[in-house]
Structure 1
Amino acid sequence: MIDVGGDGRVWLLSGTGSSYALRLTERDELLHLHWGPRITLADAEALAAEPLPGHRGFESLLDGREEYPVEGGPRFVRPALTTRTEAVRGTDWVYEEYQVHEGGAGGDELRLHFHDPVQHVDIALHYRLRTGTDVIERWATLSHGGGDRTAPVELLRADAAAWSLPVRDHWRLSHLHGRWAAESQLARTDLSHGEHVIGSRRGHTSHAHLPWIALDAGDAGEEHGEVWSAALAWSGSWRIAVQLLPDGLVQAVGGAGHDDAGLVLLAPGESYTTPVFAGLWTDGGFGASSRAWHAYQLAHVIPGAEQSRPVLYNSWEATYFEVSEAGQRALARRAADVGVELFVVDDGWFGTRTHDAAGLGDWTPNPDRFPNGLKPLADDVHALGMQFGIWVEPEMVNPDSDLYRAHPDWVQYQPGRRRTEFRNQLILNLARDDVRDYLWQQLDTLLHSAPIDYVKWDFNRCFTDAGWPGDPYPQRLWVDHVHGLYALLDRLRAAHPGVAFESCSGGGGRIDLGILSRTDQVWTSDNTDPLDRLAIQDGFSQIHPARVMAAWVTDSPNEQLNDRVSSLRYRFVSSMAGVLGIGGDLVKWSEDELTEAREWITRYKTIRPVVQHGELYRLRPPSEELSAVQYVRGDETVVLAWLRHQRHGEPQPALRLRGLDPAATYSDVATGEVHRGAVLLHHGLRTGLRGDLDAAVFHFRRN
């Protein structure tokens, strides 16, 4: 709902439990009024009538209070918008009009239009409140409205939004950091005066940070307290800067690009639309914030989110590059026998790809390994009752490939410089029309050549030599590569609506709201160690739902990383917290292991609707000896519990459950034992876990 007051210069957006208000002064300054609990339009107008604080020394009255601070005028905060022409730098806008667009199920949108008469730039600020949520999507559109004889305008920086928070005695910042194989590590730190900047200079979202922040007054817990949070829908380089100002206000700006060196050069008639920077206020702690983000993504971001994701088998760790049609058939038979629903052939099926130094870019089946193409194997997999999937890495090319030999100029490179090779590969420039056309032809032909149901889309190196020789504004590569990726994925999905896509970037290197709007799930991390995964999955859950979080059971000891030995039970329960997958060498599993795997997969299918579509409660964090999560959906609830190790033979504390009806009783689906809701809520559930690396699943249904 969007209300307008103050003679058309006060706007109030209200969601299910929160409100957001802003006003325009007589000098066309767009000021923030409120972001928090629901208020009325009369309340917003009363806030708008309050004068700004008096002038103090060298401080600006606008800093921290503007909805979209621009460079220029009496402002000293980090600007959201920096523009320049040969003659002038900065922005000085004039308000033109507002528009309210009723969007039905998608939500209502407020648009505020401004114009800079010197640079001929039109600025539209968008606010969309998604129906049924408290998530506010914000973005900006910058257009060059001058005639043919006017100078182009360079957007040095064009952030999606600035979020303003009220004065509090103390502020705390939460964010997710990490590296390859240790992604999504949750950090909560006091916010000191000055700026805290996170982002990526790598050309993709990156393993180092997820584009999400949360702020609280230092008093929020898992299930209590106010939390302000924001997430950026962008899959390239990005930056979020959080600043605690001298007067105690907090402002966060964020958008595409890692610096202020330039995003886009706008010629007359051209425009640039920023990615969405979405924000959310909740008063139920970090848990309520996560559940609201999950519900928003399931309803408005993730394609086909109402459908559950199948149990997957991936052949990578079983075969690596030793791929053969006979070997894949043997794995497929084992996978089908234990209950797998989707069989995926990983790297090594195409071109001359018998090792990691050749073949990328040549997306046709290896004639020695698949003499009749992929269709015979795909048909066999379908006959076994499973879907069929493949691995691709379309944005990359090996120098040892037919594609590179034919088109060495299609990669990103700087003239006169050595071309950096990570993993023996270079990055194709998807900003080029001819590159995208080639990839479309290759991938469309591939998807028509066999009954392929699933594509694992990988991206295994960062930008290093991001040059585009010959282009009049090569800096645009950083933005246009991502737009090219989005366009290619959108085109493929439209042409092949039955094919699901996974975003994989060496694990968690490309996970954000932008890529999630075009893919069905993501590969969370290359780290499949079941203990390490608990912390990674805990951080991931702060913003993203279990419905997209792929998690594999692999062999023990875990040879990829730390050689840790763990039981099949512990590995399965760890992976059942998301979209369950198997990545071990099933041909080498014993009959006892296969039997146990079959039982766990059957059990997962029973709880899958609750895990993938239910509300998440983090009962105890992975930093504790006993950790647990709970999912609630309708009359059912599922608890997954993990014990790192037992000390001194002491029993583990009971798990106090959440989200249940205290007046109801709940039956254990496996044993039939009846539990009272009030007892589970206030006294807890005894897990009975013992020893080292023990785990359990509990499934209750309301009577």
Structure 2
Amino acid sequence: MPITSPAFGCWVLRTPGSAYVVHLGGEDVPLTAHWGAPVDDDTALALARVPLGPGRGWESPLDGHEEYPSDRGLRFATPALALRFPDGQRTVRWRFVSASADGEHLRLVFAELTRAVRLVLHHRVAGDVVERWAELAAGEPVEVLRADSAAWCPPRREDYRLSSVHGRWAAEWQLRREPLGDGVVRLGSRRTTTSPMHNPWFALDDGTATETAGEVWSAALAWSGTWHIDVERQPAGRVVAAVGAGASFTLAAGEAHTTPVSAGLWTGDGFGSASRMWHRYLRERVMPSGAELRPVLYNSWEATGFRLDEANQLALAERAAALGCELFVMDDGWFGARVSDHAGLGDWTPNPDRFPTGLGPLVARVTELGMRFGIWVEPEMVNPDSDLYRAHPDWVYATPGYPRHELRNQLVLNLGRPEVAAWLHGWMDALLAGHDIAFVKWDMNRPVTDPGPDPSWSAAHTSALYAVLDRLRSDHPTVRFESCASGGGRVDPGILARTDQVWPSDNTDASDRLHIQEGFGQLYPARAMTAWVTDAPNFLTGNRLPLRFRFHVAMAGVLGIGGDLARWTPDEQAEAATRIAQYKRIRHVVQHGELHRLRSAARSTAPALAYALDDEVAVFQWLDGHRYGEPYVPPRLPFLPASTTWEDADTGARCTSAFLATHGLDAGMFRNHDSALTHLRRVP
């Protein structure tokens, strides 16, 4: 059973490979007794009965054990909950009321001793992970200064190491693993979205875990607005990680608040196992179309930029279809007075000079070519030079009496206003209803900088965005959405519950992308990761990488083409058609298979990875920064089932699993920027 209760006040949540034990401790507070390897009920109960210790002066025995610590009483850890009542009281103390377990879902209900406030802590088994969130109900007015989703308490170890991803625009997803020092490490974002700088995910280990071995505790937050993760190493040596959305707000009597979901998992088999568990969870439990295969797309941005019109889009569509692309996406510049980034955002009707009879002829021709049609939008933004802004200047975020700040010549619409959210849904609904559109690239190119006096603006914006997307998906169930925010600025399990893929970075340089995609894959599956092949030299780095190398990097995700096809030589077009056809033969393995990172791009000039699904494996190898023409070491494939034989689907060559696990898969590479893709099939 997913949830058992071996005794009053003790509950065991079981995933296929782990156990999570929560119990009531002193003062009726819920404590984490165990988060790790599977245990039976008797062992779980014994773990729950282990004394916390007396606590030394200046310390609390609750710290590092408590599932949802408040900021008052005998506790000094970073609080998950902080309340303030109108009379100034901030102390809260909970009385346990009841517990209920419904299938995979445990609810623990508490009431405040002297105030009319109730707290429900939720735990739910969801595949390999445990989902947690909290619900507050106010019977009297209360100011909520902080209400996190969960405080995660891994067991005590001799040491700890923290893994996270950091970066900036065009350098997102840089994986960092470093010893966890004393005190608090804060990860987070105040940029309206999850941001390119950090992502709401972390992993902890004792400093000895590898890709294939060792205990790893990991958690993430399903929220696309302001957020924080406070990882605290306490004086007594324990660690607690408080995870939540970073907004304060006030509840009136009769109102309630539910936090976003935070999901956590444990594995004893290293970082690779943790990633595979996250990928399964996101594909099977979170993403709305996780079982589908994503099409090969072509995007027109890097070919035409703001110079697009019906004629050049038709010409690009002809070329993209000839290569085997399945989805044609027209990017920025199709609407209003949008001939540069100075004007037009907010006026979402086709530019009459560029599309004299609307989008219909282009959509029809794309369909005739055997492709679906997709379109770029940036619905949350407005240019001051637009009809929308001239009609509704009060719709943007602004602080009365203060100068406003523009970025990219644009302002952000206040989605927290119901009339703004209704307008956004209205024109998007009309656009999708009036055209055969299969795909929407939803972009956001700047954060909010002048939100005004409402402290809950970020939560209101994110909630309104979710509501619009949910309604659009319901009304247009065949349309698929991509989340983009100047690249990877809005990627998290919350947005992935409403979109079908994400754009990890505006940086399409294949060498840089090896590092970006490695960090992205710590949490997110290849099924969600759009990856383009673009022109050489790359617009950002100037690198001139071989087309084969660029394709092999992009084929490790959801393949897209973003170059100016009119400039590609006949040989390049022929090679592109061959690579696209090859990708279609292996994309089910890439998009739904289990990822095995064979060699890290951060530590090797010969990175390699594999995806395995049933009786097929796709192995990618690259030489990147390789010097002196030294022979490279073939990557080994130790994950293949023992005593099996595998055949190269392209050459017919056969090898045993023992050979591939010991010698490795030799692709004959030696020059810098050589690359290879090998498709293996198990021989019956």
Same fold per TM (> 0.5)?
yes
Aligned partners of 1:167, 1:49: CA distance in 2, in Å? 16
Say if 1:645 and 1:691, in contact at 8 Å, map to a contact too. no
Partner of 2:469: 489
Instruction: Read off the aligned partner of 1:475 and give its amino acid letter.
Output: P
Decide which of 244, 257, 260 is 1:255's aligned counterpart: 244
Instruction: Read off the aligned partner of 1:9 and give its amino acid letter.
Output: G
Decide which of 324, 344, 347 is 1:362's aligned counterpart: 347
Shift of 1:363: 1.1
Alignment of 1:442-521 (within 5 A): 442-467=427-452, 474-521=454-501
Shift of 1:7: 4.4
Partner of 1:52: 52
Alignment of 1:526-565 (within 5 A): 526-559=506-539, 561-565=540-544
Provide the identity percentage. 54
Shift of 1:70: 0.8
Decide which of 543, 546, 554 is 1:567's aligned counterpart: 546
Say if 2:3 and 2:106, in contact at 8 Å, map to a contact too. no
Aligned partners of 1:429, 1:120: CA distance in 2, in Å? 33
Aligned partners of 1:209, 1:272: CA distance in 2, in Å? 26
Say if 2:21 and 2:48, in contact at 8 Å, map to a contact too. no
Shift of 1:651: 1.1
Aligned partners of 1:92, 1:369: CA distance in 2, in Å? 65
Say if 2:92 and 2:113, in contact at 8 Å, map to a contact too. no
* C-alpha distance after superposition, 1:437-460 (max 9, x if no partner): 101111111111210000000010
* C-alpha distance after superposition, 1:70-115 (max 9, x if no partner): 121111111000011221113221111011112xxxxx10000111
Tell me the SS of whatever aligns to 1:532. Answer: helix
353 and 672 in structure 1: CA distance in 2 versus 1, 3 angstrom threshold: same
Shift of 1:26: 5.4
Given the two structures, how large is their TM-score scaled by the length of structure 1?
0.96
Say if 1:14 and 1:20, in contact at 8 Å, map to a contact too. yes
Say if 2:631 and 2:670, in contact at 8 Å, map to a contact too. yes
Aligned partners of 1:543, 1:121: CA distance in 2, in Å? 36
Alignment of 1:264-275 (within 5 A): 264-275=249-260
99 and 357 in structure 1: CA distance in 2 versus 1, 3 angstrom threshold: same
Alignment of 1:208-287 (within 5 A): 208-257=197-246, 262-287=247-272
- Of 62-71 and 575-584, deviating more is 62-71
Partner of 2:80: 80
Partner of 1:402: 387
488 and 49 in structure 1: CA distance in 2 versus 1, 3 angstrom threshold: same
Partner of 1:127: 123
Say if 1:501 and 1:520, in contact at 8 Å, map to a contact too. yes
Aligned partners of 1:48, 1:415: CA distance in 2, in Å? 54
Say if 2:288 and 2:499, in contact at 8 Å, map to a contact too. yes
* C-alpha distance after superposition, 1:445-487 (max 9, x if no partner): 111121000000001001100116xxxxx11111110000000
Shift of 1:592: 1.0
Shift of 1:207: 0.2
Gaps of 5+ in 2: none
Tell me if 1:288 matches 2:273.
yes
4 and 601 in structure 1: CA distance in 2 versus 1, 3 angstrom threshold: closer
Decide which of 288, 302, 305 is 1:317's aligned counterpart: 302
Say if 2:629 and 2:672, in contact at 8 Å, map to a contact too. no
Say if 1:367 and 1:373, in contact at 8 Å, map to a contact too. yes
- Of 89-98 and 272-281, deviating more is 89-98
Alignment of 1:351-430 (within 5 A): 351-430=336-415
Aligned partners of 1:27, 1:76: CA distance in 2, in Å? 15
Tell me if 1:205 matches 2:194.
yes
Say if 1:263 and 1:478, in contact at 8 Å, map to a contact too. no
Say if 2:201 and 2:218, in contact at 8 Å, map to a contact too. yes
Aligned partners of 1:694, 1:119: CA distance in 2, in Å? 67
Aligned partners of 2:665, 2:409: CA distance in 1, in Å? 52
Partner of 1:628: 608
Say if 1:119 and 1:153, in contact at 8 Å, map to a contact too. no
Instruction: Read off the aligned partner of 2:73 and give its amino acid letter.
Output: G
Shift of 1:263: 2.0
Partner of 1:154: 143
Aligned partners of 1:475, 1:387: CA distance in 2, in Å? 42
Say if 2:6 and 2:42, in contact at 8 Å, map to a contact too. no
CA RMSD of aligned residues (A): 1.1
Partner of 2:582: 603
Aligned partners of 2:486, 2:355: CA distance in 1, in Å? 26
- Of 6-15 and 205-214, deviating more is 6-15
Aligned partners of 2:503, 2:597: CA distance in 1, in Å? 21
Aligned partners of 1:662, 1:333: CA distance in 2, in Å? 48
Gaps of 5+ in 1: 103-107, 469-473
Say if 1:643 and 1:689, in contact at 8 Å, map to a contact too. yes
376 and 666 in structure 1: CA distance in 2 versus 1, 3 angstrom threshold: same
